[in-house]
Structure 1
Amino acid sequence: MRSIKSWLHDHPYSYALFYFIPYLIIFELLETFVVPKYYIHCFIDDMIPFHESFVIPYFTWFPLLAISLGYFLFHSRKEFLELCFMMFTGMSICLFIYMILPNGLDLRVNITHTNWLADIARLLQQIDTPTNVCPSIHVASTIAICFVVCRSHLFQHPFLVKSACLIISVFICISTMVLKQHSFIDVILGFALSSLLYYVTYHTNWQKYFMKTPLRILFS
């Protein structure tokens, strides 16, 4: 315990991970109490077939999130903070949109197959309500990770790492539509959001605004 405290003291930028505490609280409150007023749908959604096998890339999002944050946390303060800024800002914007424009989906299908992947897909539908979907946090955060990984010069085998990250990211984004967790519109807007934040991250001096707040500890 003492060694953990010592490490945190020597690496104050790691405190950025505490963002997940208010994020998860607000997200769960929105999931519980917000009733959608706007339902997202376009003709492309009707052309995309459901298939339960896409639960595999869909849940790959969780280890991708943990591994990318963990890797940059221990290997590059600069890239860790860039990833946190791009991803956490995107998440915050999405939550704000969900508050002022409560939205949802009416795309889900009745899963009739009887196999372990179908069981997981049914469980996913039970625990993840079709609300708070546009823009897609799943997609926006995936794209943010992909951007930072593809810019990084840290990897011993950069072609393999970046190609794998790109392929995984594409399948994660596709899986959100195939599983009817998101509309094509959610995916496009999630991509657009992270693309905008990419520009802000790498072409503006965003750090100076944090230096005027208590969050300046992250840059010390």
Structure 2
Amino acid sequence: MKFTDKSKLKQIISRYRHGVILVYFFFYMIWFTYLERSVTRFTPVYSKLDNYIPFMEIFVIPYLLWFAYIFVTVAYFFFTSKRDFYKCCAFLFIGMTICLTIYTLWPNGHYLRVDIDAIGRDNILLRIVRLLYTVDTSTNVCPSIHVYNSIGAMIAIRKNERLRRIKWLQISAFILTVLICMSTVFLKQHSILDVFGAIILSLIMYAAVYIPAWSRRSKEADHELSNI
């Protein structure tokens, strides 16, 4: 019985050993937290377009859905496709590292946040935004990781052979991604320039990660997963 249990354990470890790359999140959080606490002087990121974007607390809903969106997307590919898992993580992790490097070499931030107490209304969404403002500084913003990762999740869902056939899912992923991108500016968490920066970085990383050569090489990983 014990031998069987050990065999099953080894089989599970072998099946999901690709998850070791998720250790990256620990390094990311240490680096990002350090920047959040240490950056006090920064270059303001601002565009005149920011003046035409109103503050709307309703967008805190898609803003927070970002966490579930990224987690569910990565988890799905972790359990179903090594090829798409590797590609999705490569897109997210390399891009996030580039963002952190930019924040480190070019500390940036903004002065766009509104005074919640001066708005003249009170509701649960405003209270959540007030809490968000207290736990997340207005530094380390360009490019926006919120926007970049949302685009990355949408691309991963779109490129998966199984999911691309589910039209309602594709439409939902697109709408959620757009709403998350909008939420960053309507909550005054980011400048519109941060969004543009994330889009440009996404285009670069798409060309680097989602290429035929990578796809051919990584198909073997999926066969390995399906044959265990």
Q: Does the alignment reach a TM-score above 0.5?
A: yes
1:173 paired to 2:178: no
2:49–2:192: 8 Å Cα contact kept in structure 1? yes
1:98–1:132: 8 Å Cα contact kept in structure 2? yes
- The residue that corresponds to 1:91 in the other structure is 96
- The residue that corresponds to 2:125 in the other structure is 117
Count of residue pairs the alignment pairs up: 209
- The residue that corresponds to 2:220 in the other structure is none
How far apart are the structure 1 equivalents of 2:142 and 2:9? 38
Aligned amino acid, residue 103 of structure 1: N
SS in 2 for 1:114: coil
Kindly state the Cα deviation for residue 14 of structure 1 after the two structures are TM-superposed: 1.1
Kindly state the Cα deviation for residue 137 of structure 1 after the two structures are TM-superposed: 0.6
- The residue that corresponds to 1:28 in the other structure is 33
Higher radius of gyration, 1 or 2: 2
- The residue that corresponds to 1:11 in the other structure is 16
Q: How does 1:122-133 map to 2 (within 5 A)?
A: 122-133=130-141
- The residue that corresponds to 1:163 in the other structure is 171
Structure 2, unpaired ranges of 5+: 216-223
- The residue that corresponds to 1:189 in the other structure is 197
1:82 paired to 2:87: yes
Between the two proteins, what is the percent identity of the paired residues? Answer: 38
Q: How does 1:134-149 map to 2 (within 5 A)?
A: 134-149=142-157
Compared with structure 1, are the counterparts of its residues 9 and 129 closer, same or farther at alpha carbon in structure 2 (3 Å cutoff)? Answer: same
Structure 1, unpaired ranges of 5+: 208-218
- The residue that corresponds to 2:113 in the other structure is 108
Compared with structure 1, are the counterparts of its residues 151 and 204 closer, same or farther at alpha carbon in structure 2 (3 Å cutoff)? Answer: closer
Aligned amino acid, residue 203 of structure 1: I
Aligned amino acid, residue 15 of structure 2: D
1:47 paired to 2:52: yes
- The residue that corresponds to 1:67 in the other structure is 72
Kindly state the Cα deviation for residue 75 of structure 1 after the two structures are TM-superposed: 0.8
Q: TM-score, normalised by structure 1?
A: 0.89
Q: TM-score, normalised by structure 2?
A: 0.86
Q: CA RMSD in A?
A: 2.1
How far apart are the structure 2 equivalents of 1:81 and 1:136? 22
Aligned amino acid, residue 44 of structure 1: L
Compared with structure 1, are the counterparts of its residues 179 and 203 closer, same or farther at alpha carbon in structure 2 (3 Å cutoff)? Answer: same
How far apart are the structure 2 equivalents of 1:140 and 1:64? 13
SS in 1 for 2:203: helix
SS in 2 for 1:129: coil
